[in-house]
Chains A and B, each alone.
Chain A
Amino acid sequence: MEFFAIVFKSMIIGAAVGFGVGAGAARMFHAPKVQGMGAFRTLGELNACAGDAASHFSFGLGFFFNAWASSVGAGAFTQDVDHRIIPNWAAAVLMRKGKRPEDTLHHPKKMAIAGAIIGVLVVTFLNSTASAIPESLQATAIKVLVPAANLLINPVMPVIFWLAALDAGKRSGVWGTIFGGAAHLIMGNAVPGVVLGILIGKGVDDSGWSKVTKTMLTAVILLFVLSAFFRGFDIELIRGFHMDAPEWLIDLHKMIGLEVE
């Protein structure tokens, strides 16, 4: 019973995701005039296959095995199902009779329909095989993958993003350091802060302190202030410096519904 529920849900999910990914990928070829969705690397890889159906298929296949291993092991599809497998296989299906990419890959309607079909097949296959594997294998996967993933999240990713920010110029380095450090204090992981720091640093590098970059900086600071407040970081900050938190601040937290002890 559960197996059929999984298959049924997977088909709906696959169709919805495949339709969106296919149309978004085809629209990327008309960006920036048309708003596309996908990724720059997806666009580059689709171009690299140069309209050859076999290249598209084998490129997707390489990532398919990786996605399969990850699905069976940890229940995670990898981002490649949306980024690489569906767009490339949809392109391969459309181009199988040697049709030109301009009439197939760049055409949102055709890509959306092909994407939906590929999506149903891929998602249903990955989910039904992943749900059928024995428990001992899942235990191994969790034992192996979770510690590796935890190391990746902290400290590997913060350090890589941070170093990239430092290498990207003075502004990105300074903003990345400030927001990255603050993000680790407030949210427990520096990556989002560093990303926002790069965003602001490079934005100002390229277009100066324009209306857009000023709005962004305000929004980022607001994001930090709000998440600090909602996680009770403000009270901890005051107490960390051996001071007493004012009553009104604690009352304010209570009013929002967050109890501070």
Chain B
Amino acid sequence: MSEQVNEQSLNDSFWYADWSFPIFVALLSAGIFAGTHMYYVYHIGAFNDVAIVAMLEAGIQGAGYGAAAAFGASFLFARILEGSLVGILDIGGSLQTGLGIGVPALLLGAGITAPVESFTLSLITGGLLGVLIGYAIIGIRKFTVGKSNSTFGADIMMGAGNASGRFLGPLIVISAASASIPIGIGSIAGAAIFYAWKKPVAGGAILGAMLFGAFFPVSLE
């Protein structure tokens, strides 16, 4: 495509223009925020990793929304800056974690439950915030583009993010082994098989634990 389209027509076309960017962000944000609504109401469908959803869950269970709110909000802040400087907005940090976990945690922590409890309101809230984020990025971009050539350590953070993801597999086996002996054995077998198949160890550990948990259930006391 890029070879046929010159720079002038790039900014005229809806699909490539700066002004249409907030619309795409708004749609994605509305969906992600509504995903958090699904998690809040039905306990399914949050657009994030188990480790991060667990922070929101801790808040829902009454342990305080502080960690989720601070974690999410600062990711959102950092990724908006980075996204406008490098030209690629990282949706994992900005929208999935920042908007999908951080903002709901802020709202719920302040006692405002309506935008998360109602499906329609969650779509509207997510969409409006998405438009704001989109315009913020385009705005910073206009203001700083060409003035800075730094990636602000994005590669380092991504490296650390991926490294922490690797910890999850062994950690799941450890906590499965602490839950009960059958679940532990299932988890060990699943992790070993997945590793041998060159699949993510965490996935095997979860499936193994759940398979054995189906036959030898534990209670949630």
Contact = CB atoms under 8 A, between A and B. Distances in A.
Whether both chains belong to one complex is answered with yes
User: Taking chain A's interface residues, is the majority helix, strand, or loop, or is none over half, making it mixed?
Assistant: helix
A38 B178 contact: no
Interface residues of B, number: 110
Given A13-B38, A27-B16, A157-B51, 12 more contacts: A16-B30, A38-B88, A40-B154, A75-B45, A79-B48, A106-B1, A145-B50, A148-B172, A153-B55, A156-B167, A160-B160, A195-B78
Nearest to A171: B153
A153 B57 CA distance: 13
A199 B24 contact: no
Interface string B83-112: 110111111100011000000000000000
A33 B50 contact: no
Given A33-B10, A78-B49, A140-B179, A191 B71 contact: yes
Nearest to A72: B210
Contact of B71 (A17, A36, A192): A192
A16 B162 CA distance: 27
Given A24-B28, A40-B88, A141-B206, A206 B46 contact: no
Contacts of A164: 156-157, 159-160, 163
A71 B86 CA distance: 32
Interface string A1-18: 010001001101111111
A157 B164 contact: yes
Interface in B159-205: 159-160, 162-164, 167-168, 171-172, 174-176, 178-179, 183, 187, 199-200, 202-203
B86 to A, nearest CB: 7
A152 B54 CA distance: 10
A16 B38 CA distance: 15
Contacts of A151: 171, 174-175
A133 B7 CA distance: 52
B157 A35 contact: no
Given A37-B28, A139-B220, A203 B203 contact: no
A241 interface: no
Interface stretch (A49-57, A61-69, A88-96, A243-251): A61-69
Interface in B16-53: 16, 18, 21, 24-32, 34-35, 37-39, 42-53
Given A32-B86, A82-B47, A146-B57, A24 B91 contact: yes
9 contacts: A26-B15, A32-B87, A43-B88, A74-B54, A144-B210, A163-B160, A199-B81, A203-B148, A227-B70
